Amino acid sequence: MSHIAVVLAAGKGTRMKSDLPKVMHAVAGKPMLSWVLDAVLATGPARVVVVVGHGADQVIASLPDGVESCLQAEQHGTGHAVSVALDHLGDVGGEILVVPGDTPLIDTETLSRLLDAHRADGNATTILSATVTDPHGYGRIVRNEAGDVTGIVEQRDATDAIDAITEVNAGMYVFDSAELSEDIRNLETNNAQAEYYLTDVVAAVVARGHSAGATMADPVAVMGVNTHRQLAEAAALRRALINGELMDAGVHMQDPATVYIDAGVTVEAGASLLPNVMLTSGTIVRAGAVVGPDAYADDSVIETGAHVWYSVLRSAKVGSGAEVGPYASLRPDAVLEEGSKAGTFVEIKKSVIGPGAKVPHLSYIGDAAVGARSNIGAGTITVNYNGFEKFRTQIGEDVKVGSDTMLVAPVTVGDRAMTAAGSVITEDVEPDAIAFGRARQVNKPGLAARLRARYRGDSGQE
Ligand code: UD1
Ligand code: MG
């Protein structure tokens, strides 16, 4: 029999002191709620309902296809949230798995174990719990002398004795839906927060003579995020999981503590990540590529054997064996083909740098195509924008663009052509030509000495 999952995501997250709904805060580049839903969906539920409220539109927009939502217009506590979900679901029967939306480290295996334990033990309610070193903020699992669960007491309602309990409520439960519907209706708000606590259902179940069970989880997996401190802790834990999995799969990391890899990034076995690397959504690093030290790549592809260091890549492609950096900025649609180079203080945007072509130093290449094996001299700029419109620069194969050339687009430089250093190229250059676009030099013999004499009254000697 399959279960129905209810995910609680309506709360404001007051302790985050943020306009962003709490469950939308990102861990490794993905909203906390999305991590939770991934784990929940993989348990194979018949239906998934997310209770939304604070920032509902934003939360709903993040939901994957097939996940339902229901609105808890005013947030009167987790018990109230579940009652809203039950009204939405109707008379469904069976098991209800409840999961909070602020536990971004939860995994499918842990939830499946909770479901299995519930089925095996035949309790009316099964809680997921964990023993933690610092239980502050969590609800405590209260047991009688026989060790049976009798209820959950929230931090703010805890006596000193209860405060000392280190077994905490993960906020995840499996309920029998018929029992739950009844107990939810009877919840009261006589507690420190004047809210309907879902946790009170446990004591109610026990009071009616049913048994409640608690199954232990790894404290890391069930960590709840209520503050920015906890968000950073959760992000660090998730990062360690991501890096650990990649290293197990054959990715080399010299110092994983300084490697930040978001969800939706692929790093192939045999790739090497050096210190201070941040890879965000959509980025692919192929086997044999070396990234770092100091590299940021968003939505970019780094092919086999490429080397990227001290550089920023956004929606860029770095071909196999290509070299980027130190200090290069590749902006959207920068494509470096095989064996090409974008060197020191080079910015490239919406341009293709052909196979083996090189832009080694101090250049801006935008809206351009550079043909195979061409070399762009230091300080070259594609003047692509006249303040109103952008134009393209076309550079052929085996071209040598002299240092400090201004290529005033639209302009074409033919195959094997050259431009003289310091040229302002405003007209097309035919193949095999050399273009000079600069003033001819004039030397005035002795003029420097005469100038010095005039200003210093001396012979011109230093
Ligand atoms: C809750 C539990 C606590 C447990 C902890 C685990 C209760 C009363 N307490 O406390 O025992 O140790 O989770 O992390 O359940 N939400 C709604 N509607 C509301 C209130 C909350 O949808 O009216 C959602 C929140 O968006 C959040 C989740 O429920 O995703 C949990 O709420 P939160 O306020 O974080 O509860 P905790 O204080 O963490
Ligand atoms: Mg919480």
Whether 366 is in a domain gets the answer: yes
Q: How far apart are CA 146 and CA 152, in angstroms?
A: 16
321 and 268 fall within a common domain: yes
Q: What is the pLDDT of residues 57-96, one digit of tens each?
A: 999 999 999 999 999 999 999 999 999 999 999 989 899 9
Whether 28 is in a domain gets the answer: yes
210 and 296 fall within a common domain: no
Domain region containing 420? 253-435
**Domain count of the fold of the chain:** 2
Last residue of a domain, one of 171, 200, 216: 216
Residue 461 pLDDT grade (very low, low, confident, very high; cuts 50, 70, 90): low
Read off the amino acid at residue 121.
D
Give the active site residues. Answer: 361
313 and 424 fall within a common domain: yes
Q: How far apart are CA 56 and CA 117, in angstroms?
A: 33
Strand partners, 49: 6, 68
Ligand 1 in reach of 81 Cβ (< 6 A): yes
Ligand 1 in reach of 276 Cβ (< 6 A): no
Contacts of 43 (CB under 8 A, 6+ apart): 3, 5, 97, 108, 111, 112, 115
Ligand 1 in reach of 49 Cβ (< 6 A): no
Whether 235 is in a domain gets the answer: no
Strand partners, 64: none
Pocket test residue of 7, 78, 223 for ligand 1, highest count of atoms within 8 A of CB? 78
Q: Is 216 exposed, middle or buried (0-12, 13-18, 19+ CB in 10 A)?
A: middle
150 and 283 fall within a common domain: no
Residue 457 pLDDT grade (very low, low, confident, very high; cuts 50, 70, 90): confident
What's the CA-to-centroid distance between 231 and ligand 2, angstroms?
Answer: 11
CA atoms within 13 A on the CB side of 420: 9
Residue 218 pLDDT grade (very low, low, confident, very high; cuts 50, 70, 90): very high
165 and 84 fall within a common domain: yes
Closest to 143 (Cα-Cα) out of 233, 38, 85, 216:
216
Distance of CA 384 to CAs 43, 327, 397, 406, 428, Å?
53, 22, 20, 10, 15
124 and 195 fall within a common domain: yes
Q: What is the pLDDT of residues 83-135, one digit of tens each?
A: 999 999 998 989 999 999 999 999 999 999 999 999 999 899 999 999 999 99
Whether 385 is in a domain gets the answer: yes
Is the model's pTM score more than 0.75? yes
Last residue of a domain, one of 167, 194, 216: 216
What's the CA-to-centroid distance between 364 and ligand 2, angstroms?
Answer: 49
140 and 276 fall within a common domain: no
First to last CA, the chain: 97
Protein residue whose Cα sits closest to atom 16 of ligand 1:
11
In this structure, what are the phi and psi dihedrals at residue 156, rounded to the nearest 5 degrees?
A: -70, -10
Percent of the chain at pLDDT > 70 equals 99
Q: How far apart are CA 208 and CA 203, in angstroms?
A: 9
Protein residue whose Cα sits closest to atom 3 of ligand 1:
139
Whether 159 is in a domain gets the answer: yes
176 and 316 fall within a common domain: no
What's the chain's length in residues? 462
Residue 370 is part of a domain; what is its CATH number?
Answer: 2.160.10.10
